[in-house]
């Protein structure tokens, strides 16, 4: 599995992303990078979107990262001023992008 830039997806595995709203600063950088995945709600915080475009507001709610958006989602995690975006492998929940990535 590779991202659009040719780099392999970490571990070649399916990835998911979630946001820790307790740390979200509401800057909206994630929604600018990947509006298909992230959106700011009326409360000013960012949330991930489900397949039906609904905001997933339960704490720790995760959504799959489409391979075509991997670079945008990983850039969101890297640039987030609140360090609240977590991208992890679905198979073992190991974080590959975000504040807890190794």
Per-residue tens of pLDDT for the chain, all 102 residues: 434 444 445 545 699 999 999 999 999 999 999 999 999 999 999 999 998 999 999 999 999 999 999 999 999 999 999 999 999 999 999 999 999 997
pTM comes to 0.86
- Split into its structural domains, the chain has a count of 1
**From residue 62, how far is each of 5, 7, 20, 44, 78 by CA, in Å?**
24, 23, 10, 19, 18
Give the CATH number, domain containing residue 51. Answer: 3.30.70.20
* Domain with 33 in it: 13-97
Assess if residue 84 is contained within a domain: yes
Assess if residue 44 is contained within a domain: yes
Other CB atoms closer than 10 Å to residue 19's CB: what's the count?
28
**Two tokens at 77?**
């995690």
């Amino acid at each position: 599995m590779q991202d659009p830039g040719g780099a392999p997806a970490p571990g070649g595995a399916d990835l998911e992303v979630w946001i820790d709203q307790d740390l979200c600063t509401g800057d909206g950088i994630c929604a600018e990078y990947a509006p298909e995945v992230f959106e700011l709600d009326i409360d000013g915080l960012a949330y991930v979107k489900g397949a039906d475009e609904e905001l997933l507001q339960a704490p720790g709610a995760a959504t799959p990262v489409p391979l075509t958006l991997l670079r945008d989602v990983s850039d969101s995690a890297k640039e987030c001023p609140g360090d609240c975006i977590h991208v992890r492998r679905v198979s073992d929940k190991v974080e590959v992008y975000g504040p807890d990535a190794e």
